[in-house]
Every structure is written in structure tokens, then in C-alpha cells.
Amino acid sequence: MKRRIPQELWFVIGGLVLFGALFVAEKTLNRYLLHILILMGIYSIATVSLNLTNGYTGLFSLGHAAFMAIGAYTSTLLTFPVPLREAYDLPRLPWFLGGPDAAWSFFPALLAGGVLASCAALLIGAPVLRLRGHYLSVASLGFMVIVVTFAKTLKGITRGPMGISAIPLYTNVYWTFLWLFITMYVVWRIVNSRFGRALMALREDETAAQVLGIYPMKYKLFAFVVGAFFAGVAGGLYAHLTKAIRPFEFSFTLTFQIVVMLIVGCMGTMSGPVVGAVLLLALRYALKPLEEHLKLYGLIELIYALLLIVVMLWKPEGLVGRKRVSVRGHQERKEEGEWARFSTPR
């Protein structure tokens, strides 16, 4: 209990320093670099929120892009300017969302996007999370396919495969990093609570955790839903940064990028996901001219995949992690011979 106060203070100081730095950045960086910086923030939110399920709980969701899509489309439909709606074939808002002459402001629209993503997570998580962790991976992937299909086919709402453009540019460094700050704070609070310890107990040994009276379903679902909320917010921020969204942007490639960021950074730590997101985006934008000039399409994804494989095989604890939090298990295991590994006692 005594240690919590200084740690909270840390967050305040960190926040102040961060926003000071952002102020300087906004004044000095050119638009392209600022754009990249904001993207780093958005991807960090996505990665940090994915960490809640995939890192701390040991579930491996592959549907993060779907939650981002839900957030992006929801917030866009809410904030889209009324005069342009007809020209862009977008529906007006029904009465319970404020009536046909209403457009929401940015913050509540983002929240709505997050909440809707959470609801979707509840819907998909409730049947699947009772089962072995693996089913979540496949079901969430399937969920992503379904969401993208809906985005393509519900033309009256989403304008189909061509997507929505002329989205107002609301996202800036302050919004983005405020949300990143909130996300990290919430995740940190969860992880350092009784609840968070329960999550990690589940990751380590589900049966043992059950014996201790931890009811797995509740905890898993909670982590999944909270993660989806912030993914939805990240999607909303993304839409209002790039000003155009199309269904295929939110498919497996996006999920994969976030997964790589998480693994390369380090699962199950606070700073790992952010480090991963920042480094891999930096790498992406450094390689982008190369990919485009040499027409080597797929080069960046290839390198991402290679990084993921290398990290998994040779440095499973990620860039910032210590051995303790490695996804490969404990160090003693590694020292044992191949044959002895099959029945490693716990």
C-alpha cells in the first residue's frame, strides 16, 4: 500500500513530461513526422490493449483489427458532418443518436466506438472463452473476417468496399497521447490489482488458479472486453487521422502488425508494447521508400514476420523483457535436454 502513492506520482510526472515533449514536438516537427508520431501513439494504444489479453491473460486473440474497425466505423458515422452526408451516401443519425441534424463531437464518438467494440467482444467472448484458449484465436480470427465482410456488404451504412472518405481530421497528438496515457493507466491499474494477479495466475496455470477460487471465465471476459474497448478507441483515432477508411485495412495484416509489435516489444510488461509499436513503425517508415522504389511489395511484412520468428525462437522475452516474463516458459526448461522436456515438472 505504501508503494502505490509514489507510483501514482510517477504517472503524473510522466504525463507532464510527455505532454511537454508533445508540445515541443508539435511545434517543431513537420507534418509527415507528426503524422508518424501520431500513428505511433495509435498503434501503441492498440498494442497495449492487446497486451491485456494476449500478454497478461495468456489468451491469444487475433481479432484486434475487428475491434478497431468497429471503433473506426462507429465514430466516423457519428462525427461525419451533416451537410456532407447526402453527398457521401451516408445515413443520417436516427433519433436515439441525436436525430438527422446531429453530428457528435469527437470525444463521445470515440467512447461510443469503444463501447460498441466492447459489446462485440462480449458477444464473441461469451461462447468461446469457456473453451480452451486456442479456440479464441480461431474464433476471433473468424470474427474479424465477419466484421470485414459486413463492412464490405452493408453498403447503406459503410459504403461498401470503397470505404468512407472526407472524415473530419480531429485526431492530433494531444488526443492520441491522452488516450495512450489513459490506456496505460487503466492497464496498469488492472494489472496491479487483485484482479490483475488473478489474470496472471490464469496465464500460468489455469487449474491451479481455479483451485484458488478464481473463476476463469469472468476474468478472461473482462480482459477481453476492456482490451476491445481501447482497440475501438484506437480505431476511431485512426479514422480521424487518415480521414479515409476502407474495409480491407482492418484485416489480418493489421492484426498481425499489432501482434508483432507486442511480441517484439515484450508481452506482459508495461513498456514493451509501446517500445514494440514505436520501433516497428519507425522501421516501416524507414523501409517504405525502399519498398516503393524497388517495387518489392511485401518486403515490410516479410521483415516483420522474420522479426517475429527470430524473437520467438531466440529471444522469446522480447526486447525489454527479462527472462522471467518470457512466453517460452522458465529458464530451467531451456537447460534441460530435448528428451527431458516432455515431462517438465512444475
Q: Which stretch binds other proteins (CB under 8 A): 81-89, 191-199, 276-284, 332-340?
A: 332-340
Nearer to other proteins, 274 or 327 (CB): 327
Q: What share of the chain is helix, strand, coil (3-state, %, to 5)?
A: 75, 0, 25
Nearer to other proteins, 112 or 148 (CB): 148
Q: Which stretch binds other proteins (CB under 8 A): 99-107, 201-209, 219-227, 237-245?
A: 201-209
Residue found under cell 480521414:
243
Nearer to other proteins, 134 or 322 (CB): 134
Instruction: Name which of residues 259 to 298 contact other proteins (CB under 8 A).
Output: 259-260, 263, 296-298
Sign, CA dihedral 269-271-276-277, equals positive
Least CB distance from residue 139 to other proteins, whole Å? 6
Nearer to other proteins, 63 or 113 (CB): 63
**CA dist 332 to 204, 213, 346, Å?**
16, 29, 11
Q: Which of 137, 172, 192, 271 binds other proteins (CB under 8 A)?
A: 137
Binding flag, residue 304, other proteins (CB under 8 A):
yes
Q: Which stretch binds other proteins (CB under 8 A): 5-13, 31-39, 134-142, 269-277?
A: 134-142
Q: Which of 8, 134, 162, 282 binds other proteins (CB under 8 A)?
A: 134
Q: Which stretch binds other proteins (CB under 8 A): 27-35, 38-46, 74-82, 333-341?
A: 333-341
**CA dist 206 to 132, 194, 209, Å?**
10, 16, 5
Q: Which of 98, 206, 283, 285 binds other proteins (CB under 8 A)?
A: 206
Residue 286 exposure: Cα atoms within 13 Å on the Cβ side: 7
Binding flag, residue 143, other proteins (CB under 8 A):
yes
Nearest 5°: the CA angle 245, 249, 253 is 160
Nearer to other proteins, 129 or 275 (CB): 129
Least CB distance from residue 330 to other proteins, whole Å? 8
CB atoms within 10 A of CB 236: 34
Cα(12)–Cα(179) distance, integer angstroms: 14
Write the DSSP symbol of residue 88.
T
Binding flag, residue 122, other proteins (CB under 8 A):
no
Which amino acid, residue 13? I
Which residues are CB-contacts of 38 (< 8 A; sequence separation ≥ 6)? 171, 172, 173, 176, 237, 241
Nearer to other proteins, 177 or 317 (CB): 317
* 8 A C-beta contact, residue 102 and residue 139: no
**SS3 of residue 245 by DSSP:** strand
* 8 A C-beta contact, residue 224 and residue 129: yes
Instruction: Name which of residues 10 to 49 contact other proteins (CB under 8 A).
Output: none
Least CB distance from residue 113 to other proteins, whole Å? 22
In terms of Cα–Cα distance, which of 142, 154, 161 is closest to 63?
A: 142
Binding flag, residue 217, other proteins (CB under 8 A):
no
Which amino acid, residue 69? A
Binding flag, residue 201, other proteins (CB under 8 A):
no
Residues at the interface with other proteins (CB under 8 A): 58, 60, 62, 124, 127-128, 130-135, 137-139, 141-143, 145-146, 149-150, 152-153, 205-208, 252, 256, 259-260, 263, 296-299, 301-302, 304-306, 308-309, 312-313, 316, 327-330, 332-333, 336-346
